[in-house]
Amino acid sequence: MSTTRVPRALHPIAWWIWAIGLATAVSRTTNPLLLVLVLATLGFVIANRRTDAPWARAFKYYLWMALIVIVIRVVFRSIFATGVGATDHILFTLPVLHTPHWYSGVHIGGPVSLEAVLASMTDGLRLGTMLCCIGAANALANPKRALRVLPGALYELGVAVVVAITVAPQLIESGQRVRKARRLRAGSGRGARALRGIVIPVLEDALERSLRLAAAMDSRGYGRTGTATRGRRRVTAALLLTGLAGLCFGVYGLLAADAPRYLGLPAILVGGMFCVLGLVLGGRRVQRSSYRPDPWRGPEWIVAGGGVVTAVLLFATTGTGVEALNPSFSPLRWPPLPVLPVLAILLAATAGVVAPPVPQPVATRSTRTSPRPEATREGVPA
């Protein structure tokens, strides 16, 4: 590795592969030591490699969400007791609610054991950690840049999302403007009438804006047709539809117990292949290039590879017993620390060092001290 490293953003797809790999690995284990290790890894990488963009600050909300998941899990487990073993350590006893005889499958209340609480805690921790993995991907990869690497056939979808993100604040601004203007006309009515007075001008404004945006996009070359002919467009549509149908059948085949065996995997494979073909063909419909595309170089391979290796290792449970990955808490004991999964997770943690440093915000930020956002058409301040 060279001595000076040029700051740049890592390819968003690499971050997503890395995060999904970790999430997959997490789904295989309830070992709290491994789960905490994964959380530590996420924290380390984010602390090292996130920008100060608004989406990058969202990770803490995912952490809160994880905590809520754990709490809900424990509370439910305590209320809907599922029986206590002879050797269990009872923490406390809730009053028992007697259910009618036709509803006898569910016990509400009763003694709550330490073992049960621990088990539900680790279960919640697993789900929470998976959430945090996705949150990490969101924090590390710029969502707009991630949308740009969508295959050409899905390009329109990406643009729609980007436009929607841009339009939302404008809608709020025009809502505030109209609400303020209503007072000038002594907006007397309340309820439906007053709402009408706000909603209609705002919607008309939004509609006008979107028409103007559409005209502007059209005259700047959006949606130029590439080399595709009408025949090829039809082939694309047919491929995609068949592919999706195949995927549906395949999923059904895999999940439904009474479905014939041959329906599952083969249908998924064939359906997936059709979809990929369709996307490739459809991509030719649109001809575009992208400005300053994120390159895929060494660091991307290592980061994405780290995620994949971790996932594969934990999925195949190579070198470790199922027992080590999913330790039981009855009888009560300290969970084991399997060596190979720990190494795999540490490998994923190298992303925090291997990924190139993030670009620092530009010095011209100081010019931002302009008096109130001028975009809110002069005057009418919020």
CA–CA gap between residue 271 and residue 242 (Å, rounded): 7
List CB contacts of 219: < 8 A, sequence separation 6 or more.
none
Cβ 47 to another protein shortest distance, Å: 24
Cβ 224 to another protein shortest distance, Å: 5
Residue 222 or 296 having the CB closest to another protein: 222
Residue 3 or 219 having the CB closest to another protein: 219
- Helix, strand, coil abundance in the chain, percent, nearest 5: 65, 5, 30
The DSSP-derived string for 150-172 is S-GGGHHHHHHHHHHHHHHHHHH
Residue 94's SS3 state is strand
CA–CA gap between residue 352 and residue 70 (Å, rounded): 27
Cβ 360 to another protein shortest distance, Å: 11
Which tokens sit at 175? Answer: 């809502």
User: What is the DSSP code (8-state) at residue 286?
Assistant: B
Residue 107 or 144 having the CB closest to another protein: 144
Residue 208 or 323 having the CB closest to another protein: 208
Which tokens sit at 146? Answer: 């991630």
Residue 170 or 330 having the CB closest to another protein: 170
Burial status of residue 16 (CB atoms within 10 A of its CB: 0-12, 13-18, 19 or more): buried
Residues lying near another protein in the complex (CB under 8 A): 144, 159, 162-163, 166, 169-170, 177-178, 180-188, 196-198, 200-201, 204-205, 209, 212-224, 287-293, 362, 364, 367-368, 370-375, 377-382
Are residues 74 and 80 in contact, defined by beta-carbon separation less than 8 angstroms? no
Cβ 223 to another protein shortest distance, Å: 6
Cβ 230 to another protein shortest distance, Å: 16
**Structural element, H or E, at residue 184:** helix 155-184
Cβ 60 to another protein shortest distance, Å: 23
Cβ 116 to another protein shortest distance, Å: 50
Strand 108-113 to 90-97 pairing: antiparallel
Distance of CA 234 to the CA centre of its chain: 33
Which tokens sit at 116? Answer: 């049960």
Residue 319 or 373 having the CB closest to another protein: 373
Q: What angle do CA 362, 367, 368 make, to 5 degrees?
A: 90
Cβ 213 to another protein shortest distance, Å: 6
Cβ 236 to another protein shortest distance, Å: 19
Residue 4 or 360 having the CB closest to another protein: 360
CA–CA gap between residue 121 and residue 118 (Å, rounded): 5
Beta bridge partners of 110: 94
Residue 261 or 372 having the CB closest to another protein: 372
Beta bridge partners of 93: 111
Residue 287 or 328 having the CB closest to another protein: 287
